[in-house]
Amino acid sequence: MKIGYPCINETLPCSSATTFRLASYSEERLIKAVTNNLACLEQILAFNVQHGLLFFRMSSDLVPFASHPVNTFNWQEYFAPSLAALGQFIKDNGLRISMHPDQFVVLNSPTETIVQNSFAELAYQCSIIDLMGLDKSAKLQIHAGGVYGDKPMAIRRFADAVHVLPENIRARLVLENDDRSYSLQDCLEIHERTGIPILFDNFHHECLHNGEPMAEALRLAAQTWQPDDGILMMDYSSQSPGDRKGKHTAHIQLDLFREFLTHLQGLDVDIMLEIKDKEASALPALALLRELGYVPSSAGVM
DNA sequence: GCGTGTCAAGTGAAA
DNA sequence: TTTCACTTGACACGC
């Protein structure tokens, strides 16, 4: 089991997601931003290894405007050595990596240009991981998309889009159950049609489900992962107390996390904590996992 | 320097 | 009809 947090480290004085406005695009700005972002990513990964946080979601903003037509620079070639070095560090230290293309990636949109833009964004994020030389267990997690008043048709469009994706992207793609439209059961149907593993989100499952108890839901999602996909990845969060339903908590509630762990029942998973204060929650969560014996107490201590 | 409106991109629920 | 939430932070303009 590995545990981690997404994208941003709030302890380190750097950001791996610096960007700039489209209006001020230039090759110089791009190179400067990416150079900065990769240097920061290196620091974050080192921090994570030092602290035993071995699961990390990389920012979608490592390369600003990577899939925008304005960007004709061959950044893949320019940054290949840096990305390869980062990849070697990841492999040497046994880190698990994911990326999460944002809400603009909608494979089942009825609008052809949106689907094409989504393909371009997936190609960008996949090429980052490919250039790092990571195996198939490094994943790109997306949601199914919109419903458009006809879910069976929307699911069919999603499956059709997956089937025309290049093999390297399809091999990394995983589907996350969401909290409004596509439940675990919907994702299982898509899995049946496409073979894409399901990344399980416990909080979304609490918001939208078809009655499956948590332990059963975890087992169903885990079954969709093949050996070379690695073990089940999951997002963990809980309700922000006193807030709108579906709002993520600002800080981990360890009693709820401890309760959630009882549903694993021996299942091995990698857990991404989607919690606002990042490593400030991931570190106490890791301490709990060590205390309970899920993670060796010596791992990652330096 | 600092406050703050706005930023490439989609969808659906709530206000 | 518009705003807001999604993982939401930070650029860049104006004072």
Q: Is the pLDDT of residue A289 over 70?
A: yes
Q: Is residue A25 part of a domain?
A: yes
- pTM here is 0.94
pLDDT band for A300, please (50, 70, 90 cuts).
very low
Mean pLDDT confidence for A17-45: 91
Nucleotides in chain C with any atom closer than 7 Å to protein CB: 5-13
Question: Can you give the pLDDT at residue A115?
Answer: 94
Strand B contacts (Cβ < 7 A) comprise A 21-23, 60, 64-68, 102-104, 106, 109-111, 114, 117, 121, 145-148, 180-181
Nearest DNA or RNA nucleotide to A18 (CA to C1'): C10
Q: Is residue A297 part of a domain?
A: no
- State the distance between the two ends of chain A, measured CA to CA, in whole angstroms: 19
Q: Is residue A302 part of a domain?
A: no
Q: Is residue A34 part of a domain?
A: yes
Q: Is residue A27 part of a domain?
A: yes
In chain A, the number of structural domains is 1
Protein residue nearest nucleotide C10, by CA to C1': A18
Distance A63 CA to B1 C1' (A): 29
Q: Is residue A298 part of a domain?
A: no
Mean pLDDT confidence for A26-38: 92
Q: Is residue A212 part of a domain?
A: yes
Q: Is the pLDDT of residue A188 over 50?
A: yes
Q: Select from A202, A212, A298, A191 the least CA-distant residue to A253.
A: A202
User: CATH no. for residue A45?
Assistant: 3.20.20.150
| Contact residues for A140 (Cβ-Cβ < 8 A; gap 6+) | A98, A99, A100, A101, A122, A125, A126, A129, A169, A172, A173, A174
Protein residue nearest nucleotide B11, by CA to C1': A146
Mean pLDDT of chain A: 92
Range of the domain at A220: 3-292
Q: Is the pLDDT of residue A222 over 80?
A: yes
E strands of chain A, at which residues? 3-6, 55-58, 96-99, 139-142, 173-176, 198-201, 232-236, 269-273
Nearest DNA or RNA nucleotide to A274 (CA to C1'): C7
**pLDDT tens per residue, range A96-109:** 999 999 889 999 99
Range in A151-160, A192-201, A255-264, A290-299 the model is least confident about: A290-299
Q: Is residue A301 part of a domain?
A: no
Q: What percent of chain A has pLDDT over 90?
A: 81
